[in-house]
Structures are given as structure tokens and as C-alpha cells.
Structure 1
């Protein structure tokens, strides 16, 4: 292309400014095009430089980039090259906006992590301080039986609170990763209500609250669902109601049956938990189901701030609905609606007549005379477990690594051990390897002896890994005696039936 030639360069620059809509940057653009400006900048940057200006046109704003460089070695000519960079700048702006958005998300995540660690540091240290302090006091007053007993009771309460904090964190993680799966089991609603009352009534009495739980209009007492998760939902809501209701207040739980919304073979149950507590502001209500959302009025109440997030996640998992009504200092009402498959009216009729109520759990006599092979490399943990088993009349053979455990089972007579309790993280051979080795033995009891995993790894993938290795059950550490009892009763009960 031939160069564009004009006699008067300054006049051309003025016409450029007049014929193009340069907006408020007109004077700046004229200055950039002036020969004096270009020569001065080229002396500072002999390799050349560029600048960008915008022109407003009918189809929008267009961006022009001008590269300025010397046109010869003797520097007696200045060369200008113009290019339209609108599309390039638009792409850059979009990329920049995306990066800014990503940065904002990262900063929010970092703040959330910091808030989480700060909250956890406080909430975990509180019961830990109580446990350590009460242990020191009990040691200092060994001759005072009443004082030691009081310290042990407070240690037990603090331990359970610490365990609930850890469980909340694990549950929230599993819900966020969609790792929770629901069980399908037969549930007897009056039993569920009775269990809730038995668990929550003492807490309400201790807090000097009036507590009532009742059922109205229930036509189907039996239905299928996940009893553990439904109980968890109700316990979370009832525990909050009790925690955030001042002394002298009231907590009420109403269980009703509604008409099904979708499936006529399902029963729809509504659980309404109301209290006369401190209530919530309108601002908090909009964030109440988000992790760590807490009222300023509740800053002295211990907890992770995850309970309602977990509850919402479980209700959503069950395809149910949860709603809340509250006003500051005027109490709160939560409503949970779950639609579950029922077992049929004829079963409910027999139940009402007292013929079909689920059988009571077996007593702990099932442990008497049993012998357990225990694999545990921690001396304190094995001592606690052996003492617990001995309390129920059972014996324990303890091994400190997986290889010793496999050898002990191999050398024992068939049927010598009623169950095997395996720690996962052990030296020489871990629990998974030990379980596979035992299941692979060519002897009659190798395939049927109950093997229970005992581990601090409590995520869904850890439980699945235990099952894949041939184990029958998974009990998370620290060991909850009630969970361990229920597991033994289920597995040993099956074995007893098979033996008969």
C-alpha cells in the first residue's frame, strides 16, 4: 500500500479529531498524535511504542491501536501503523472479568476457611479444655469419690459434645460431595417419636424448659425410610430449639400425616418444631441454611453452625421440604415434610391391636462366653475395648499388627473366634490386607466369621474400602459403645440364627 500523504500534518490531526467521535478523550488523542509528542516518546523508547484510542460509531465503540516507530536509521521519518483491536480487547476484558470473578470466589473461600478454622478452634478447644481440666481435677482428688464421679460425668458430656462437632464436620463434607446414601428400612412411627422424647426430654428438663412431643391424625404408623437420618434431622432441630430457648420457655414438636403430594402409595408426614426462644432476624433467615450461619444473640452457645446446613442437605436428599418462620425474641418454628412409602393399612391395624409391634432388641447376654480377636496397635485403645468386652462376659485376644492377627486366626481352631475387630492403620499389614488374607483362607469359618473395621477414617470411601476388603461392618473411632453394641447384636445375632 502506498503511504497516505498530506502536506499539513497538524491540520490532518485536527480533522481526525473532528470527523471521529472521540468522546471526552479528544484532547488526549490529539496530543498523542502530535509530532512533538511522538518524537519525545521515541527518543525515550527507540524501539517504538503504542497507544490505544476509542471511536464511537453506530454499531458501538471501536478501539484503535496505533504503533509508533522510527521509519529509518537516520530518524528523519516517523511511521504510524493502525489496527482495530476491538475484538482483542473485548476478549481480554472478558478474561480479566473471569479472573476477577475467580479471585473473588477464591478470596471468599479463603475467608470461609479462615472463619471455619477460627470457629472450629474455639468450639473444639472448649470441650477439650473441659476434658483436660476435669482429668487434672480428678487426679488431684482421687480420695474424694464424689468429686471424681462429678469430674468423670463432665468429661463424658464434653467428650460427647466433641464427638458431635467432628460428626457434623464429616456429615457436611459427605453431603457436599454427595456421598451420603439413604437406607431403606421399616420404621414404626410411635417408636421414632418415643425415642425422640426419651433423648430430648432430659435435655429440656436440665434447661428448665417445658417440652412436649405429640402426634395427630396419623393414619399409617409404618413406613419405609432411613431411621438414622430422619432422627438426625429431628434431633438437630429439637437440639437447636432447646439450646436457643431461655430458661422457663417451651419447646413443642407436632407430628402429623398429610395427604400425599405425588404418589398415592406414599404417606406424607409433617414434623413441626416450635419454641419460644430468642428467634432470628429477617437478615439471618435468608442465610439460615448456609454453613456457619449463626445469630449474634447466639454467640455464647456452643456449636459448629453446621447443624441446619446438614439438616437441609438431608431433607433435600429425601426429596422433602423444610421451611422456617421466626422473629427476633419471639421464637422459631421449623416445618419438615417428608413423603415416604407406607406398608399398608392392614399392618397398621394389627399394630394398633398390639400384634405387630417390632420385637425388642436382644439383651447384652449375647456377649457372654464369646471370644473376640482384636487387632489394635494402640495400647490404650485395646485396653478400653478389652475392658468393655469383659464387662459383658466376653474374652479378647489382642494382637498389635495385621500379620499377627492373620497368624492367630490361622493357628486357632475353627470357630475359636466369634468375631474379629480390625484396626485399619497397623504396622506390617494393615486392616484391609489382614481382612483379605483371612477371607482367602481355605477353612470353614474364614468366609463367615464377622469382621468389623475399627478406624478413625469415617468417610464414605473408607467404609466402602472396608466392605470391598471383605469386612461386615465399620465402626468409627472413638468407639461409641451404643454403636458397637448394635453392630455386635446385628452380626452375632445373625451367626446365632445360622448356628441354630
Structure 2
């Protein structure tokens, strides 16, 4: 047995070494190939830029020629002096204009004082030129004897005689101006036509001046005929790309880009392959060192029979390092902006939809108020997204900062449901949101970022789930291993089209969308999942995805959220009996647990019919429930039908509440007529049920801890500097509705003068716009702080401005301002800031 074990171990070591060498070779080959491809892409981009410069130059020449032609068209072919005058006025040191009378075979040029007759061969050259305008391939100038290039255009003189105008200049000047060089002057460029004929020859020392055709150079180097023919076909078909050929006893890369203004012409850049790879030597050397370290590690782990698991881990790390080394980190701003429509359209859809509903229900104030509330929430989310888009440097560098503050998980989920409702209803999808073991509602986290994560996942779920499909959100709280934290799991599942395994691997990369005919018509930037992953990572969490084509997708987000000091326990309620009916068992369990914690006895059932039977049985026993909670959408007997049956069979006035994750506006009238007392929205947290019982059972006002927290500013005198009349009106209305007295001035200078004339203590607060005529807000704040009076140094001054970047907040602080409020105004935040400084 012992020799067999040694032999088996020896074979295992050999296999490990072989596998390591193969993996290392593949890794190094992948790195080298990726770096080479990146370098070729850069050369193509520089070639394209050079092409663009030459295109622009040719277009300018054509425009100048057109200007001369427009003058020649007004002249008679008999008036040679006038023709020469126009040509002399346009010709420069190097450029020369020529005009030809094709009918009389006369040519005019500034070198002669009158037209000179053309020889038959010269006339034939002009007559054989194709089209109304174009550019001639390089030719030897009859007058100067140098190689020349020229733009030409046909026209008609004032009497209809056909004419020809041409602008020429030495080919050498074009070559000097538009020759490209690469990698320390080791690479150069040509301009060729589709047949490979060299039109403009680089002045670079490596440029071959003997051959007139690019393919003649390539053919003599012993290159593969199929590769040469592929290159020839690419030029003939107007393609853009790169090829690799032997030239001057070494490998060169040929990058070719077609010109736009001259059909059939190409800019071809030629760079030594060795120079390209020299740029990657350092990375390759480090990779080789890293590879040998991996081999040693694998051998050690093999001795402990762990080679298979640990080698896979090392290979994955190596692949990730290679991918990051080869990936470009600098995304163009214009491309980023154009692709962010995926993240903007969802809240915009909610705003437009809610505005339409508000218009349709203008005569119903309660509904309009609710719609406007939803519009406000969507608008706040949209403002957050726009701030991210504008702060490009922050996003592109991956340096977004979290704004952790005390926030309500209930408010977050409510806003999320309100935004996603119109999308779900439009596609007739089943939408369910469930809570599991929620013990903390008030936490410390970045609510905008978490909202953005969940909204990205849900908006994708609605888009990629067919009509009448199912979408669900499960929120679960469990104990956290981190101190003073709670662990939350957000699970977003759908029954949509799913994703292929190979796409799931790259799902969180920027600008990634699956190639599938079912999603080609669905808008999206390809940035949503990348941003989602980045935010989850910043929050110290983890995101996973499970998906199969045709079987839907499940996203799971794991986060540890810090507990907030404000998350105080709700006071217990008196002994009450409630009935809860929902066909979703998880919702029933959650509601029963919450009510039990509140000291309330709850009977739960999973159908409308069973709820009717329980209510009827309780009535017969003389023990009617204090409150009945019914889900709107239940199979068989739904919530409204159950209400009718309870009212009909019992005749009692027990409060009956309908709850749903959907907008109940369209059934509100029917529900009210059926005897429904009120509505609450899923998901309902413990605080939701608590407020519902206070309102509908105990008929009490909401406690201050859960009320709207309205701020009273009675007796407060506020000075506001704002040059926009609409902003003046909005802010005045908001503050005066809270009881404040508001005085408005139109610029910073008026604000300084009004404060100087006021008695000390006359104003409690100054709201200062920043961008104003005459004097801006920063200067006004500085002058007020410099005044020789006590209240000038203590009066709160708030900057109210559309300049919302971090540097703008710092500028306001440096000017002596106490707070920075960004437009569009977050009204609750503004009132909280006022309350903080005025103790309202």
C-alpha cells in the first residue's frame, strides 16, 4: 500500500505542476493578447483622429474652391482678365488655382497674364475626371515639375460655357502637415486608395520611397497570401481594422481607417509590433513573477491535498487582475449621459403618470394630494439621480460618498411601491411585497442609494417580465455579526425571461446588455447593474443573482444597516381583537407577529371566504372584532366582496380596512360603497398597523413620533434675497403657511442694505440665493458678517442655490453661511434646517 500511495502522490504533484504551467501559460498569453489589443485600439483611434484632420482640411479646400467657383460662374469665358483677377486673389504661396474653359480649351493660372491653350492630352485629363467635384490623385505639375494634389469642380460660365476649376498644392506640404507618428517616432502612416496605391507618402525615415503600392511592399516580405487578400478585400469594401504583416525583416501592425470626404482613400498607420509590446514589458514581468508565486503556492497546497480548490482560487484572482489591467477605466462623459436614460425614465414615468391622475381627479382633493405626494417623492429621487450624472468625476473615479443618516425603512419601501406601481399596473403584473422578522424600522443608512439599488432591480423586473407575470420583494431582518447593526436581506424575484449563464457572469459590467431579440426594443443604458453593484459594495454589502432563460431572475442583496438611536419601541395598545385576511402566508405571519408585539390578539386567515366566516362566528358570539384587515386581491372572494358579505351578514359597524400594494384609487368608490372604512398600503410595518389602529379603532391623533411633524414659524421674521419671481412665490407661500412673516428683496445689494436699516434682532433668518444680479449671495453674506452689530455675526444665513456640488457647499461655508439648500428645494429638509436654527 505504501508504494502505491507514494506513486499516487507523485502523479498528483506532476499533474498539479502540469496544470499550473498550462494555466500560467494561458494567463500570460491572455494578458499579452489583451494588452496588444488595447494598443492596437489606441493606434486605430489616433489614426482616426488624423483621418478626421485630413478630412476637415479637404472639406475646407472644397469650400474655398466652391467660393471661387461661385465667382467664376458670374464671369464670361471671353473676359480672361476678370478670370485671372479672381484666381490671383485666391492663390497663396503654396496653393494655386487653375480655371479651364473646356469648350475653347483655354487654361487660366496666375503664373500667366492671359489664358493659354491646352494640349489635347491635357484637355483629355480634365474631361476624364469623374463627377461634378472631387480630388485628383497625385500628379506631376506641368509648370513646377513637382508632385501635386488638387481639388476640382466643374461649373458653367455666365453664358453656359462648361468650365473646370482646380486648387492645387505640393503633395510634400500635405505629407508634412498630416503625417502621423507613433511610439517615439517608430511608426508612421500612408494615405492609400482601395487598390493600395500610395496617395500621400509619409516623410518618416522608415517610409519606403521606392514602391508606389502598399501591396508591393507587403508581397515582397513573404506574408501569408490569405492575410494579404483579406487586407485587400477590407480596403475594397470600406472596412476599418488592423492587420499584421512582415515588413523590413520584422512584424508590423497595419491599422487602416477609411476617409469620409474622399471615397476609396484610407489612412494606414504602420507600427512595429515589438514597440507595441515594449509598453507591456513591466506588466508582463510582474505577471511572470506573480505566476511563479502561484506555482509555488500550488505545490505547497498539493502536499496537503488542497491543490484543486486553492489553485482555482488563485487562477480566478489572476484572471481578475488581468481583466482589470486590460480594462479602460475612463468612460466618455457624453456616452455616460446618453446611457443614463435607463435610470431616469422610471421616476419620470411615475411623475407623468401621477400628474395625469391628478388632472383626471382634480375635483377630488384627497386623491390629488396623494398624487402630488407621489410626484414629490419621484421628483426627489430624480434629483438625486441627476446629481449623480452631473458629478461625473465622482462617479467615473468610483469615489461616490455615502450620505448615511437616520431614515425610515417603512418610508423607503412606501416610496418604492409608489414609484413602481404605474409600471406594474400598465403591464398587468402581479406584485407582492413581504416582510419577514422586521424588528427595526428606523436605521442609519443612505436612503437615496438603497432606493436606487432596489428601484434598478424592480424596474428591470417589470421590463423583462411579460404581462400578467409575477414580481415579488421579500425583506428579511436577521441578527447581524456587526455590533449595533441589523442584517437585512432584500430579495427581488420575477417570472420574466431570465438570462443566459454566460451573460450573468458579466451582468455587473458597465454598458452590458444581453443580445436577445426579446430585449432589443427595451430601453436601458447598460449602467444600471454596474451602478447597483458599486453602491452595494460601498455599503459593505453583497449582491447575488440567480437566473435561467424562461424561468425568471432572483436578485439578493445582503446589507448590514446600523441601528439608530431614534428607533424607540411603540407603546402597547389595549387588548383588542383583529382579523387579518391575506392569501399570502408570509404577510399573515408578519402581521400576526407585529400585532402580538403591540399587545393585540390577531386571528389570521388566507382567504376572503374564511374571513367572512370568522367575522360571522365572532358576531354570533357577541364578540365582534375591533378591526378587520382584508387584502384587496384574494382568489375566490376578494377583499371588497368579503366586506359586502360581512356588512350584510353581521350588520355591525366594525371598521374594515383594505390593504394592497396597488393603487386603490380606481376601486375606492366601489369599496366605500361596499362599506370599507379606509385603506392602507403594503408592505405594512408595525408602525403602519399601529397608526391604523389609533386612527380607525381608538380614534386618536397620531403621536408626535409618527406624525407629520409640522413646523410652526409664527412670530418669525425672515428676509429672503431671490431674483426669480416664481421661486419668490413658492418659498413665500411655504414659509407663510407655517406662520412666518417673509420680506423679499431682489439681489444681494438690496439684502445688505435692508439688513443694515433694520433694528438689531428684527430678522430671525436670511435666505440667500447665490446667483443674483448686482451682488451675488456670497458677497452679500460676507458684507453682512462684517457689519459692526451683534446680530450680524449670529443671524442664520442659508444659501438657496442650484449649485449643488461639494465645492459649492464649501463656498457657502467660507462666505459665512450656516446651511446650504440645493434647488429644487427638498421642503422637509429645508423646514428641518429652519427648525434646527430657529428652534421652531
Both proteins in one fold, TM over 0.5: yes
The alpha carbon displacement at 1:420 in A equals: 2.6
- Checking the alignment, whether the CA contact within 8 Å between 2:480 and 2:486 is kept in structure 1 is yes
Q: Secondary structure at the match of 2:435?
A: strand
| 178, 181, 194: which one aligns with 2:401 | 181
| 546, 557, 562: which one aligns with 1:336 | 557
Q: Secondary structure at the match of 2:561?
A: strand
Cα distance, 1:372–1:347 mapped onto 2, change above 3 Å: closer
Cα distance, 1:313–1:439 mapped onto 2, change above 3 Å: farther
- Checking the alignment, whether the CA contact within 8 Å between 1:221 and 1:348 is kept in structure 2 is no
**Does residue 276 in structure 1 map to residue 495 in structure 2?**
yes
CA distance in 2, matches of 1:123, 1:340: 26
- What corresponds to 1:230 in structure 2? 450
**Does residue 438 in structure 1 map to residue 658 in structure 2?**
no
**Does residue 324 in structure 1 map to residue 545 in structure 2?**
yes
1:38-437 superposed matches below 5 A: 92-94=275-277, 109=331, 113-114=334-335, 116-117=337-338, 160=379, 163=383, 166-170=386-390, 173-187=393-407, 189-190=409-410, 192-194=412-414, 196-197=416-417, 200-201=420-421, 204-205=424-425, 207-219=427-439, 223-260=443-480, 263=482, 265-294=484-513, 297-298=518-519, 300-301=521-522, 305-342=526-563, 359-360=705-706, 362-364=708-710, 366-367=712-713, 370-390=716-736, 394-437=740-783
| 471, 489, 493: which one aligns with 2:832 | 489
Cα distance, 1:444–1:229 mapped onto 2, change above 3 Å: farther
Q: 1:141-197, CA deviations, whole angstroms, 9 ceiling, x for partnerless residues?
A: xxxx99xxx9xx99x979949756624514665343455433444455455545544
Structure with greater Cα Rg = 2
Q: 1:267-319, CA deviations, whole angstroms, 9 ceiling, x for partnerless residues?
A: 32111111223444445434433344345745555565544333222211111
- Checking the alignment, whether the CA contact within 8 Å between 2:342 and 2:523 is kept in structure 1 is no
Cα distance, 1:375–1:255 mapped onto 2, change above 3 Å: same
- Checking the alignment, whether the CA contact within 8 Å between 2:465 and 2:496 is kept in structure 1 is yes
Q: Secondary structure at the match of 2:451?
A: helix
What TM-score results when the alignment is normalised by the length of structure 1?
Answer: 0.61
CA distance in 2, matches of 1:121, 1:192: 21
- What corresponds to 1:469 in structure 2? 815
CA distance in 1, matches of 2:550, 2:713: 51
CA distance in 2, matches of 1:383, 1:471: 23
The alpha carbon displacement at 1:337 in A equals: 0.9
Q: Please, what is the CA RMSD of the aligned residues?
A: 5.2
- Checking the alignment, whether the CA contact within 8 Å between 1:179 and 1:460 is kept in structure 2 is no
CA distance in 1, matches of 2:513, 2:456: 14
The alpha carbon displacement at 1:330 in A equals: 3.4
Q: 1:180-221, CA deviations, whole angstroms, 9 ceiling, x for partnerless residues?
A: 433444455455545544554565445533322222134555
The answer for unaligned runs of 5 or more in structure 1 is: 1-40, 44-62, 66-88, 99-103, 139-144
CA distance in 2, matches of 1:206, 1:432: 48
Higher RCO (CA 8 Å, separation ≥ 6 residues)? 1
Cα distance, 1:448–1:286 mapped onto 2, change above 3 Å: farther
The answer for unaligned runs of 5 or more in structure 2 is: 1-207, 211-247, 251-271, 282-325, 573-593, 600-685, 688-703
Cα distance, 1:385–1:415 mapped onto 2, change above 3 Å: same
